A = this chain, B = another copy of it.
Amino acid sequence: MMPEIPYKTYLAESEMPKAWYNVKAHMKGAHDPFLNPATRKPCAADELKRVFCDECVEQELNDADESIPIPDGILDFYKMFRPSPLVRAYFLERALDTPAEIYYKFEGNNTSGSHKLNSAAAQAYYAKAQGLKRITTETGAGQWGTALAMAAAFFGLELDVFMVKVSAEQKPHRREVIRTYGANVISSPSDTTAAGRKILAEFPETGGSLGCAISEAVEKAANTKSCRYVLGSVLDHVLLHQSVIGAECKAAFDKYGVAPDVIIGCCGGGSNFGGLIAPYMGDRLQGKNNIEFIGVEPASCPSLTRGKFAYDFCDSARITPLAKMYTLGCGFMPPSAHAGGLRYHGMSPIVSRLYNDGYIKAIAVEQKAVFDAAVTFAKCEGILPAPESSHAIRAAVDKALECKRTGEKKRILFGLTGTGYFDLAAYKKYNDGEMSDNVPTDADLQKGFDTIPII
């Protein structure tokens, strides 16, 4: 007999996961090491610790332990905005008239508006525990900057957020949330760093870029006493922190004695998808399940489906270590009309390796279809989704419609990473019928590939 699944499942405080899930413990060999950009030799832990907090570096390099305990100070912080609900999308199922069961894990019910707070909480905690006074980061759209500002305020750390200038101007409200949490927002490029001054001298009118903002944040951290730099995606330790999403999903499903047949997540840098699938992927790698894992990326920035598996810089300014990952080239620029987020040129090394080894499928979806699904979802389920999350909604809806054709009662889980409250300019474009699809040509991609360094 099928168990009765309520619309929402919130774990009780006592049921919340006490450990993160390190999927690398079950991957065949660690993924390829980071390379020092100057020497092109593997980065030593000490090199990384000059940039990142010590404990994050330890986690970054830990390929052995499946279970990594979450410190009490982070568990406390998690209680502020977790557990997130696992929702059975009964209304969406009804609207689609599908025999499939659709579930989503909703990570947007916090003021940062996304899952980013899971890692911000951890990284701010470790910075504080290490005795640091200050951290730096960059932010584009602003979700990560908001999340880290909340965490820094909670743990009493000073924070400098280098916000891409054009974003700071186009999204003044995001900037204001970050300021409200007490962080210092600096439009990038700025005259506060050598990197910023150099760009400003060359391109006085530039609106900035994530690459430039990363350069400034890293430089500021390196030149400031008791300070480190913090990154919100891509890296293994970020995926580790995000595994709390998957761990909560599994705990909730286990209560009902069921498991998903398909798990779907949107993929930008890969931290949400990697975190969502972690425990189920760990089981899969041990031959304990046969779940279909699907990463969804925008057709305009198709790193998994059309990229190359190669060493590349993590930033467009070419100052970070090199990572082995699926990449469109650190110089790739997604089409400017793209409104749907997930604009990163590369992909988490863990997700990249799992994809390369055949454990993950990837699909690319076009933005009009993404917003179609977003609006259907908003009307059925009452949550206005972030454009990024809506990539996963699109794929989940398509999978449910496929089940309608085949009659299969598959259990579909997708990650609803965030809300779209600060993305209404994109929704306006869609509502006004002014949204276009933007798929790069092979020639566009080749320009990006030409920027991948030859190792």
Q: How many residues of A contact B (CB 8 A)?
A: 42
Q: Is B80 within 8 A of A381, CB to CB?
A: yes
Inter-chain contacts of A10 with B (CB < 8 A): 8, 10
Assess whether A384 is in contact with B111, with CB atoms less than 8 Å apart.
yes
Q: Can you name the residue of chain B whose Cβ is closest to the Cβ of A152? A: B379
- A428 to B7 alpha-carbon distance, docked (Å): 38
Asked whether, in the complex, the Cβ of A382 is within 8 Å of the Cβ of B111, the reply is yes
Q: If A91-B80, A384-B177 touch, does A109 touch B109 (CB 8 Å cutoff)? A: yes
Shortest distance from the beta carbon of A71 to any chain B beta carbon, whole Å: 17
Given A79-B7, A382-B154 in contact, is the A173-B424 Cβ separation under 8 Å?
Answer: yes
Q: Which residue of B lies closest to A109 (CB)?
A: B109
Q: Is the CB of A428 within 8 A of B80?
A: no
* Set of chain B residues within 8 Å of A6, measured between Cβ atoms: 12-13, 79
What residue in chain B is nearest A79 (Cβ atoms)? B7
Query: How long is the Cα–Cα vector from A182 to B383 in the complex, in angstroms?
Result: 14
A139 in the interface, Cβ–Cβ < 8 Å? no
A266 shortest CB reach to chain B, Å: 19
Complex Cα gap A10–B6 (Å) = 13
Beyond A13-B7, A421-B421, is A176–B382 a contact (Cβ under 8 Å)?
Answer: no
| B431 x A80 contact (CB < 8 A) | no
Complex CA gap A179/B384 in Å reads: 12
With beta carbons under 8 angstroms apart, the residue of B79, B91, B378, B431 that contacts A111 is B378
Asked if A153 contacts B379 (CB within 8 A), the reply is yes
Per-residue 0/1 for A88-131: is the Cβ within 8 Å of any B Cβ (1 yes, 0 no)? 00010000000000000000011101000000000000000000
Which 5 interchain pairs have the tightest Cβ spacing?
A173-B424, A7-B79, A6-B13, A153-B379, A176-B424
Chain A: residues with CB nearer than 8 A to chain B? 6-8, 10, 12-13, 79-81, 91, 109-111, 113, 150, 153-154, 172-173, 176-177, 179-182, 375, 378-384, 419, 421-422, 424-425, 427-428, 430-431
Could you list 14 A-B pairs, sorted by A, with CB under 8 Å?
A8-B13, A8-B79, A10-B10, A80-B381, A109-B109, A110-B382, A111-B384, A111-B419, A153-B378, A154-B379, A172-B428, A177-B421, A180-B431, A421-B422
With A153-B379, A154-B380, A173-B425 known, 10 other A-B pairs at CB within 8 A are A8-B10, A8-B13, A80-B91, A111-B383, A153-B378, A172-B424, A177-B421, A180-B424, A181-B378, A182-B379
